[in-house]
Structure 1
Amino acid sequence: MNRYSRQQLFAPIGEKGQQHIREKHVLIIGAGALGAANAETLVRAGVGKITIVDRDYVEWSNLQRQQLYTEEDATKRLPKAIAASAHLQAINSEAVIEPIVADADAHLLARLVAHERPHVIIDSTDNFDVRMIINDVSQKYNVPWIYGACVGSYGLSYVILPHETPCFRCLLEHVPFGVATCDTAGIISPVVHMVVAHQTAEALKIFVHANVNRKLVSFDVWHGQYRMIDVQKLKKDDCPSCGQNRTYPALQYENETKFAVLCGRETVQIRPAQRREREWTRLISFLQQQGIRVEQNEYLLSFTIHPHRFVVFSDGRVFIHGTNDVQEAKRLYYQYLG
């Protein structure tokens, strides 16, 4: 019996399209809610190879929305990439699954894309630093990538085609601060699956050479809102990532967010790539909405989430007291400060 028979009956794919899908390699960055669901959907669709990059392990709070994982994974605290690989292999033994337990930094992503040449990159990460790296790697090596994000009941998706559509930097220009995350604003599972539906549908279109949706899609599943926004005019000729004179700034060391352990202080300092004055009003409002007490003076603000104390300086630097673990500090930084 042909396991893909129903998919092949769909005229835009057919037998020829299914063969194209079987020959494709997808790089998925992040193995959380979006990453797990994207990987499972694509493996069930017959994608030949999937590489998954994730630095985290499975926790009990993941099980509410990260459908690929089990209680046993959480009990064992298995790295998400490893747990995902095992489950995906059980779903489709013909697929090649490459799990990578690592931080998705510029060096790793550039090496993976340059050497393995995936046909598409799917963004399933949770921070804008990594998305900017994905964006520049995509532009440098001419590999399409599909942005996806969700928090609360709100989701976004957008396909970026090098040389054709505006890139992520064209849309944002700067990495934003103070963005809500699932850890602070919560999330419901249906919005995850809606984002994944858009991402995987566009991936399948790329594989079978169909026309992709070039509009930014946004929706709120709780309030029944749905929009498609034409962003083509936002493409910039002078964009350093996709313009005429490209420098790929996210791939340069000086533009990386820096993490350093302060000797003898059980503190990690985090320094954003660009020195900038933080907009404290928005950050304070956001923290207070989470019931977090904030103290401040003209130089810094601080707040405590036991057992860690955060100190945010006006130039953008952050101290996270109570840990010498850079990976833990990264997690906390992106969780509470976007």
Structure 2
Amino acid sequence: MDNRSRYSRQVLFAPIGAKGQELLGQKKVAVVGMGALGTVLANHMVRAGVGHVRLIDRDFVEPSNLQRQMLYDEQDAAGHLPKAVAAASKLRAINSLVQVEEIVADLHAGNAESLLADADLILDGTDNFQVRYLLNDVAVKHHIPWVYGGAVQARGMYAVIRPGETPCFRCLFPHPPAGQGETCDTVGVIGPIIHVIASYQATEGLKLLTGAYDVLNPNLEQLDLWDNDSLSIPLANGRSPDCPACGNGKFDYLEIGGAQSDEFASLCGRDTVQIRPAAPHKTDFQKLAVRLEKLGRIEQNRFLLRFEVDGHTLVFFADGRVLVQGTDDIATARTLYAKYVGH
């Protein structure tokens, strides 16, 4: 397909033009989280002609995702496809000129720099603060701009983070919120707020990629579509000289801490515990299926294996991670993991 025809309407938009389009084709964007926000973000980046789009996500498609996660369909959910894989397949069919790279992985201190440090822009499609602090540490350390975004119910917010130019995320939110907070899985969400927030994020991303720094939004923007409210919080004076990350160059969330044991984490509102082994390894699905098939129901594809037993589902990924579904109690998850996986 002729590039001139594909991007003609975008090139006609004077602030981008032919020069901006050429710049987009030279850039690499990492989209972290391929849920609701991430699918909209990735869709915009690929359709806009960004040269390389990396999709990072640890989860797989479920029926409840289809209400708002725009790149997935019923077949993806029925096949339990990893979100990054399903999204990449759709996006390659949309624009074969873009290099779409899928990464099925949990982003953590041990792999964050290898997955993000070469990006020109990081777009936040995640759903939790811990990962955002990790994104912020990588971005500040490697001087990579990123665009924060979050949405729940009918409310959302976004902000542009430019290391050295704006407050970083840790300046704005010095400490993670107490407790688990609201999530789409606990208080719900409507699709339109996802598209609005992600579209604002994507627009700021296009500005960053084409060098239009003078028109970047300088505020933390908050929107409520249901109650027709909006609030702009200026960030110009928000940098903190005492910020551990951008003020003192201390990147706490990138420190692995020398942990030698498996990590168990309850996923807020998901009735699920994720287990990430201390030593990542490649799961042999064939051997695992043979071992477990006499104990419960097995479903598998080339990306994951699902094992249903005793009212719970254990989902095994190729990188060694396991999701224990049907409980948010870490002690219960540990027991099931030890019983069916071992140590």
Shorter-normalised TM-score: what interval? 0.7 to 0.9
Deviation digits for residues 109-168 of structure 1, max 9, x if unmatched?
A: 111233xx1110001011111100000000000000100100000001001000111111
> Paired residue for 1:201?
203
- In structure 2, distance between residues paired with 1:139 and 1:12: 28
Change in Cα spacing, 1:175 to 1:95, as seen in structure 2 (3 Å) is: same
The structure 2 residue matched to 1:321, chosen from 320, 324, 332, is 332
Look up the match of 2:90: 87
**Which AA in structure 1 matches 2:22?**
Q
2: CA distance, partners of 1:214 / 1:73: 39
The one-character-per-residue Cα deviations of 1:193-215 (angstroms, maximum 9, x if unpaired) are 01111110001101111121121
Whether 1:308 aligns to 2:327 is yes
CA distance in 2, matches of 1:112, 1:269: 20
* Mapped partners of 1:68, 1:325: distance in 2: 33
Which amino acid is the alignment partner of residue 180 of structure 2? Answer: G
Q: Counterpart of 2:110?
A: 107
What are the Cα deviations for residues 180-204 of structure 1, in whole angstroms up to 9, with x where unaligned? 0000100000000011111100011
Matches within 5 A, 1:30-69: 30-69=33-72
Q: Distance in 2 between matches of 1:171 and 1:131?
A: 12
**How far is 1:227 from its partner?**
1.6
What code does the residue aligned with 1:6 have? R
Match of 2:246 in 1: 242
What residue in structure 2 maps to residue 173 of structure 1? 174
Give the TM-score taking structure 2 as reference length. Answer: 0.76
Whichever residue aligns with residue 197 of structure 1, its letter is S
Residue 146 (structure 1) aligns with: 147
User: What is residue 216 of structure 1 aligned with on the other side?
Assistant: 220
After superposition, residues 263-282 of structure 1 pair within 5 angstroms as none
Residue by residue, what CA displacement relative to the aligned partner does 1:199-240 show, whole Å, maximum 9, x if unpaired?
A: 100011011111211210110011111121102222111211
Inter-partner Cα distance in structure 1 for 2:193 and 2:78: 26
- Contact 1:33/1:67 (CA < 8 Å) preserved in 2? yes
After superposition, the C-alpha distances for 1:227-279 in whole angstroms (9 at most, x for unaligned) are: 21102222111211000x21111111249998349xxxxx9799xxxxxxxxx
Does residue 239 of structure 2 align to residue 228 of structure 1? no
Residue 86 of structure 1, CA deviation: 0.4
Structure 1 counterpart of 2:192: 190
**Contact 1:268–1:325 (CA under 8 A) maintained in structure 2:** no
Residues in 1 aligned to 2:185 and 2:39: alpha-carbon distance in whole angstroms: 17
Q: Aligned with 2:97: secondary structure?
A: coil
Paired residues, number: 275
Whole-angstrom distance in 2 between the partners of 1:222 and 1:104: 33
Q: Normalization by structure 1: what TM-score?
A: 0.77
Q: Distance in 2 between matches of 1:221 and 1:48?
A: 33
Give, in whole Å, the separation in 2 of the partners of 1:82 and 1:309.
26
Kindly indicate whether residue 124 of structure 2 is the aligned counterpart of residue 123 of structure 1.
yes
The answer on whether the counterparts of 1:148 and 1:199 sit within 8 Å (CA) in structure 2 is yes
How many angstroms does 1:68 deviate by?
0.4
TM-superposition CA deviations, 1:62-98 (whole Å, max 9, x none) = 0000010011100100000000110000000011011
**Aligned-partner Cα distance in 1 for 2:41–2:81:** 19
Q: Which amino acid aligns with 1:185?
A: V
Q: Any conservation in 2 of the 1:249–1:255 contact (CA below 8 Å)?
A: no
Secondary structure of 1:106's match? coil
Partner of 2:135: 134
RMSD over aligned Cα, in angstroms?
A: 2.3
Provide the secondary structure at the position in 2 that maps to 1:97.
strand
Any conservation in 2 of the 1:28–1:121 contact (CA below 8 Å)?
yes
